[in-house]
């Protein structure tokens, strides 16, 4: 049976992924316009396919991390997630400097959910989960 902290991590983290996809869909047109106005990107021919592919690859990576953390109890995956989150938070000041539109608000909500989810990975019951100490399922004895 998975500990409560891991279950909360899972819920918050999956909610952040869903919100991230919603944000991508809402901001898709403006993202494509931004890509097309950058000279280097236009030369390389990156456009909508690049944006969709990047989102799909990023989502696949985060789903793999979720699986290894929440279902397999991988401490390595936990630390990879922490490093990726720390790297992505570096872009936060730049996001706050821009105009406050729906994309920024959704982005901040995604960050908040990811940070809250990651915090649950450092609770005592989660630490036991990562050490491989799995408790018996109480329903087994019913």
Residue 98 pLDDT greater than 50, yes or no: yes
Domain contains 142: no
The domain total for the chain is 1
**Under 8 Å between Cβ of 97 and 14:** no
The DSSP H or E segment spanning 99 is: none
Alpha helices, DSSP H, located in the chain:
4-26, 28-37, 39-44, 48-66, 75-89, 92-97, 102-120, 124-130
Per residue, what are the HEC states of 26-46?
HCHHHHHHHHHHCHHHHHHCC
Q: Which residue has the tokens 């991508």?
A: 24
Which residues constitute the domain of residue 89? 4-132
In a domain, 139, yes or no: no
Report if residue 140 sits inside a domain: no
20-60 pLDDT tens trace: 999 999 988 888 887 777 777 666 666 678 788 889 999 99
Provide the whole-model pTM. 0.84
Average pLDDT estimate for 59-82 = 96
Nearest by Cα to 121 from 90, 84, 77, 88: 77
Helices 28-37 and 48-66, axial angle in degrees (round to 10): 120
Is position 138 within any domain? no
Residue 136, SS3 per DSSP: coil
């Amino acid at each position: 049976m998975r500990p409560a902290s891991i279950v909360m991590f899972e819920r918050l983290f999956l909610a952040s992924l869903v919100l991230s996809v919603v944000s991508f869909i809402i901001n898709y047109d403006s993202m494509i316009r931004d890509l097309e106005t950058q000279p280097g990107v236009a030369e390389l021919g990156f456009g909508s396919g690049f944006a969709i592919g990047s989102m799909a690859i990023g989502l696949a990576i985060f789903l793999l991390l979720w699986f290894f953390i929440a279902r397999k109890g991988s401490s390595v995956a936990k630390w990879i997630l922490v490093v990726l989150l720390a790297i992505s938070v570096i872009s936060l000041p730049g996001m706050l400097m821009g105009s406050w539109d729906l994309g920024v608000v959704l982005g901040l909500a995604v960050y908040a959910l990811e940070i809250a989810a990651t915090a649950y990975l450092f609770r005592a019951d989660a630490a036991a989960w990562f050490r491989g100490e799995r408790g018996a399922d109480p329903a087994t004895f019913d």
